[in-house]
């Protein structure tokens, strides 16, 4: 019976070692992947900075037109209450243009 307990302890220790090695490998791989992603992002940012070196011009232009057609009428009722009625249409046209040129 004493020998059987030692085998169980040895098996548990082996499992603990294997699990520890798997965790260490996962952490190492995660660090390598993180470093690779960081380098790739830094490279892409560098490319963007090279192409957009401030030699371009950004412009915005906007126009707006509003037209109203209609009539207003006021009605005073007994007791002094006034009602305002507006009948008509309102047309609004807005145009915004943005651009970037080199």
Give the pair of three-digit tokens for residue 90: 């309102």
Contact 56, 100 (CB under 8 A): yes
The answer to whether 87 touches 68, Cβ cutoff 8 Å, is: no
Its domain, for residue 58, covers 2-101
Q: pLDDT value at position 1?
A: 45
Torsion region of 49: left, alpha or beta (phi above 0 gives left; psi -120 to 50 gives alpha): alpha
Question: By the 8 A CB rule, do 102 and 55 touch?
Answer: yes
In a 3-state reduction of DSSP, which class is residue 71?
A: strand
For 53-79, the pLDDT digits (tens) are: 556 676 778 788 878 787 877 788 877
Q: How far apart are CA 69 and CA 16, in angstroms?
A: 84
Report the pLDDT value the prediction gives residue 29, as an integer from 0 to 100.
92
pLDDT-derived band of residue 35, with 50, 70 and 90 as boundaries? confident
Structurally, how many domains does the chain consist of? 1
How far is 22 from 51, CA to CA, in rounded Å? 44
């Amino acid at each position: 019976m004493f020998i059987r307990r030692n085998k169980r302890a040895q098996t548990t220790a082996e499992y603990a070692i294997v699990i520890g090695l798997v965790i260490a490998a996962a952490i190492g791989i995660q660090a390598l992947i993180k470093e690779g992603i960081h380098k790739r992002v830094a490279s892409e940012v560098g490319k963007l900075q090279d192409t957009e070196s401030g030699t371009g011009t950004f412009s915005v232009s906007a126009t707006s037109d509003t037209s109203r057609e209609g009539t207003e009428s006021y009605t005073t009722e007994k007791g002094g209450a006034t009602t305002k009625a507006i009948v008509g249409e309102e047309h609004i046209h807005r145009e915004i243009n943005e651009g970037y040129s080199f």
